[in-house]
């Protein structure tokens, strides 16, 4: 088995990287003091989170709710669900904001029938699943989206909409709130025209292959880090208010939303 790896790549925008490093260094020091061997000294940033999710060496990471529920329950163990202090987040639940170009005369989601949507990845919960469910919920059944532009990331989707390369995008509310610190002015070219239903926030995870005693220590260290006074600034930069244990079955909710969108005939991206 490869050496353990740690990643916080889901929310690792430039203005948040130092905070992520501080959070991990605190957790890593606690684990090492408790006798955990081969604790990663730094966060992995050369591989994307989706590549790490099936890796049995993943000691600590964060997953997207839809890929976890659909593809990775056999690979990952949920440690905790975060609580974020961002608009459109409540307790341990978060939303996507549906954005359009600020100068577009249309004012409601229903006005965008036939629109092209920018998406980060086809399997994204916040970028695709919540977008499709929101369309079904607010605009009714039948064809709505005419196509998709795959951008590879939420920030790239925001830029695509602002530039007129797509008409809509669903952006994770935490990313949308954090964007201004890392990408000044980006949000000025956008307007929020709808907000999705709230679902459990992105879970902190470890590989199923992580030994049970070690997984428990990682969970305890993570929960303790949410209260450590010396991490207050880091948590603020990450918009983190805390974290708490959650049953992995809670993420099945996102699959119910997918079924609703499918039943309504809302197009899904390929891939």
- Mean pLDDT across 71-97: 98
Quickly count: other Cβ atoms within 10 Å of residue 224's Cβ.
13
With CA atoms as reference, report the closest residue to 170 among 215, 227, 112, 210. Answer: 112
Whether CATH 3.40.190.10 fits 94-198: yes
The predicted-structure confidence for 122-166, as pLDDT tens digits, reads as follows 999 999 999 999 999 999 999 999 999 999 999 999 999 999 999
Q: Mean of the per-residue pLDDT values for the chain? A: 97
Assign 1 a pLDDT band (cuts: 50, 70, 90): low
Q: Identify the architecture of domain 5-88+200-254 in CATH.
A: 3-Layer(aba) Sandwich (3.40)
Is residue 223 predicted with pLDDT exceeding 90? yes
Q: Element (H or E) spanning 221, and its range?
A: helix 212-225
- Helix 173-182 crosses helix 154-162 at what angle (to 10 degrees)? 70
Domain ranges in the chain? Answer: 5-88+200-254, 94-198
Contact status, residue 84 vs residue 243, Cβ threshold 8 Å: no
Q: Quick check: do 5-88+200-254 and 94-198 share a fold?
A: yes
- What are the strands, taking DSSP E only, across the chain? 5-6, 58-62, 76-84, 93-94, 96-101, 116-119, 147-150, 168-172, 190-195, 199-200, 204-207, 240-244
pLDDT for the residue numbered 270: 85
**Mapping DSSP to helix (H, G, I), strand (E, B) and coil, where does residue 132 land?**
helix
CA-CA distance, 257 to 153, in Å (whole number)?
Answer: 22
**Mapping DSSP to helix (H, G, I), strand (E, B) and coil, where does residue 99 land?**
strand
């Amino acid at each position: 088995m490869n050496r353990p790896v740690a990643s916080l790549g889901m929310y690792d925008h430039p203005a948040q990287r130092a905070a992520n490093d501080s959070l991990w260094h605190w957790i890593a020091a606690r684990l090492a003091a408790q006798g955990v061997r081969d604790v990663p000294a730094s966060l992995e940033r050369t591989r994307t989170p989706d590549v790490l999710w099936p890796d049995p060496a993943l000691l600590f990471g964060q997953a997207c709710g839809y890929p976890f529920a659909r593809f990775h329950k056999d690979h990952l163990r949920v440690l905790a669900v975060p609580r974020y202090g961002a608009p459109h987040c409540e307790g341990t639940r978060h939303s996507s904001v549906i954005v359009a170009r600020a100068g577009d005369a249309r004012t409601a989601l229903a006005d965008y029938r036939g629109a092209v949507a920018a998406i980060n990845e086809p399997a994204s919960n916040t970028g695709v699943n919540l977008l499709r469910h929101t369309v079904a919920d607010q605009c009714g059944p039948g064809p709505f989206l005419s196509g998709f532009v795959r951008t590879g990331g939420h920030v790239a989707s925001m830029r695509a909409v602002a530039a007129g390369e797509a008409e809509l995008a669903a952006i994770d509310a935490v990313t949308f709130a954090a964007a201004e610190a890392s990408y000044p002015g980006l949000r000025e070219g956008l307007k929020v025209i709808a907000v999705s239903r709230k679902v459990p926030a992105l879970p902190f995870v470890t590989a199923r292959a992580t030994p049970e005693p070690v997984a428990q220590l990682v969970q305890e260290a993570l929960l303790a880090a949410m209260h450590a006074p010396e991490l207050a600034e880091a948590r603020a930069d990450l918009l983190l208010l805390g974290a708490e244990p959650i049953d992995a079955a809670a993420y099945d909710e996102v699959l119910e939303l997918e079924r609703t969108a499918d039943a309504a005939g809302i197009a899904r991206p390929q891939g």
